[in-house]
Structure 1
């Protein structure tokens, strides 16, 4: 699923470091991307390859003209990884045949020596690799050059790890930092709010992994707050910068699927609640036993437009993020302006959805860090303990 899809999954990063001056930026970026450009292995026996490619020309990347990867304030390209895969059962079968041929010529042996077995396995694997076409895998990314926000259109931990490594090798003076709950919350708050948030920070250091693992409460409490507020019909308004004007009303609620997790004698216990709900009796029952919401499907609605996505409470990665539909007409026809138009509309809708999400998070933080949080907690506790029949 790429940026042109109506439904995508993604993680967001902050790009830290100093960029060259505007007049030197294109040549610098072009050279950095060409230095780690994707190279095909179809005509070789190599097992895998990875690199940067042009999103609209994945088989023929160049990065020599701005139109290939630069769209207004966005840098737009893709990470591509091709890999030959041999099914383990097939490899085992062919190795067995090769070992049988080896023993047929040496009746005095019951099995090949260890070194010979290793060489047979290597030769067999290489022979099969030369006959297998590499399977391509591409992941789009959009880098907002003005605010340093980079969106990687995948929420896979392995893909994120490989992307971070390749980005670091390509742009030596820059580094990417995934935006997780604590860092996202901090960026939304003013100085006074940041001080209050810091007082609740349970991490022992400013390392990202520590802040993620030690502050799970932030994402979990946010989802609990939204579950209660959405079911109670609480109204929300845009209060962060973006596509919509400040004060624009919108609706938000949790529905379709909730995953909860909590510790138990036999280890972590998980509960999944699926389907359209009225009172979420099963989820409320799990919450009263000490479980916390680990992920949930959030719905956002403004006028007749609706956004929907699954939010991971620990990392704030977005899965199955569905925006109002955008269609690339004349599919299959090479018309770059058509795709550019779809790109800008897609980014507009994506950023509009994220603006509403950030507004929700900021409104939660204002309550969580304010004097009325204990009152809100009591309201939530009363709701959880209310009639569940």
Structure 2
């Protein structure tokens, strides 16, 4: 689902480097158009990837600034069309082509290896030409003021394609995925940064190493939130700037799906929780929470997401609904823009609550009395420190 859907999965990046000077409505359009999606409907190409407009996947011209510039953000979509030939179909047609080749060359008992590869390429090309490409769309919203980019492609393969095309489009800029440790760095005030760095188990700032060596952060965060949920201590305060008022109260707790892991072994606990008893038993046996549903509520509005502890990838992030208001006067493009801004508002508010929750955890986790506090959390969960 796209960024404008009420439920969407996404990852976030920090954009490092200085964007071109001047009006983004002037410099961004030509750069996006230069790397726009090229249709392959009438050819036999297997894959094509490029940018299209967020509101119109057929439009890669970026001729009008309002198609891509929604101050303070640039909004665009990665379109990727791919033809796929079923393996069984390819084998059947290749077998027929090989039989025809051997019939035309009675002195041969089998098709030579190089000829078989040639036949395979020819057969595959012919089948691709008869197959319509399947399109996929992944939205990106780049907040220029905060240097923060939200992208709805969550698979590693699509993320790699997006990152490469972004670097090609915006030379001199690079994307760094906002993994748990990077998000913690962005949240903490300067006085707590040294305490966080003391807990950094990675030797370099390489993203993969930061993720793999600092899995403790996501695991401890969800463990902490589970203890609060079990004890009914679900009330928190807004601690980050954003749409919600500072110090405004909100409720947060682990929802009805948890994935617990110990090495390759995984256990999923789903459905209504009776004091999270199954999860607590798994934790007592040495497992960690690898993934969990988080529910957040402020006033009449609610947000819900499935958070991956290792990467902080937000799955099925459900925010308050946004509905278009048709007055018969406003043109369609203006209505779409209004929906975009409303959608960005509710997403930003949900992430503001999440960051406030994470900040509350980090302040406890980095405090000098954390060992004592951890023992208290263990008792809340009903078992003693191992």
Structure 1-normalised TM-score?
Answer: 0.94
After superposing the two structures, state which structure 1 stretch, 200-209 or 217-226, moved more.
Answer: 200-209
Residue 328 of structure 1 deviates from its aligned partner by 4.1
Q: Does 1:299 align with 2:295?
A: yes
- CA displacement at 1:376 relative to structure 2: 2.3
CA contact (8 A) 1:300 1:356 kept: yes
1:105-139 residue CA offsets vs partner (Å, 9 max, x unmatched): 33333222222211111111111111111111110
Q: Paired residue for 2:72?
A: 73
**Residue aligning to 1:104:** 103
Aligned-residue offset at 1:74: 1.2
Paired position in structure 2 for 1:371 = 368
SS at match of 1:22: coil
CA distance, structure 2, for counterparts of residue 3 and residue 381 of structure 1 = 39
User: Secondary structure, in 3 states, of the residue corresponding to 1:122?
Assistant: helix
Q: Given that residues 91 and 124 in structure 1 are in contact (C-alpha distance below 8 angstroms), is that contact kept between their aligned partners in structure 2?
A: yes
Is 1:139 paired with 2:135? no
2:253 maps to 1:253:
yes
Task: Tell me the equivalent position of 1:39.
Answer: 38
Aligned counterparts of 2:19 and 2:203: Cα–Cα separation in 1? 32
> RMSD in angstroms over aligned alpha carbons?
1.7
CA shift in 2, pair 1:138/1:329, >3 Å: farther
Q: What displacement does 1:279 show?
A: 1.1
Q: How many residues align?
A: 380
Give me the whole-angstrom Cα distance separating, in 2, the residues matched to 1:334 and 1:212: 46
Contact 2:230 2:276 in 1 (8 A): no
| Aligned pairs for 1:13-24 within 5 A | 13-23=13-23
Greater mean deviation of Cα atoms: 345-354 or 229-238: 229-238
SS in 2 for 1:385: coil
Does 203-212 or 296-305 show the bigger shift? 203-212
Give the match for residue 120 of structure 1.
119
Query: Partner of 1:11 in structure 2?
Result: 11
TM-score (norm 2): 0.95
Measure, in 2, the Cα distance between the counterparts of 1:124 and 1:329.
Answer: 52
Task: Give the deviation of 1:329 after TM superposition.
Answer: 6.3
Q: Which runs of 4+ in 1 moved over 6 A?
A: none
| Native 8 Å contact 1:285 1:384 kept in 2 | no
| Residue from 301, 307, 323 that aligns with 2:319 | 323
How much does 1:386 deviate? 4.8
Alpha-carbon separation, structure 1, partners of 2:113 and 2:371:
68
Partner of 2:162: 163
Deviations 1:256-301 (A, max 9, x none): 21111113xxxx2211111110211111111112111111000001
Q: Is the 8 A contact 1:256 1:275 kept in 2?
A: yes
Q: In structure 1, what is the equivalent of residue 333 of structure 2?
A: 336
Provide structure 1 residue ranges, at least 5 long, that are not aligned to the other structure: none
Which residue in the other structure is 1:362 paired with? 359
Q: Gaps spanning 5+ residues in structure 2: where?
A: none
- Counterpart for residue 84 of structure 1: 83
- Three-state SS of the structure 1 residue aligned to 2:381 is helix
Secondary structure at the aligned position of 2:290 is classed as strand
Whole-Å Cα distance in 2 between the matches of residues 383 and 280 of structure 1? 12
Distance in 1, matches of 2:182 and 2:53, equals 30
Range moving further from structure 2, 99-108 or 338-347 = 99-108
Distance 1:3 1:329 in 2: 19
Could you tell me which residue of structure 2 aligns to residue 63 of structure 1? 62
Q: Note the C-alpha offset of 1:154.
A: 2.3
Determine which of 269, 281, 299 is the counterpart of 1:273: 269
Matches of 2:118 and 2:203 in 1, distance apart? Answer: 50
Per-residue CA deviation, residues 237-271 of structure 1 (Å, 9 max, x unaligned), is 101111111111010011221111113xxxx2211
1:178 is displaced (CA, Å) by 0.6
Deviation at 1:49, TM superposition (A): 0.7
Structure 1 residues 319-328 or 241-250, which shifts more? Answer: 319-328
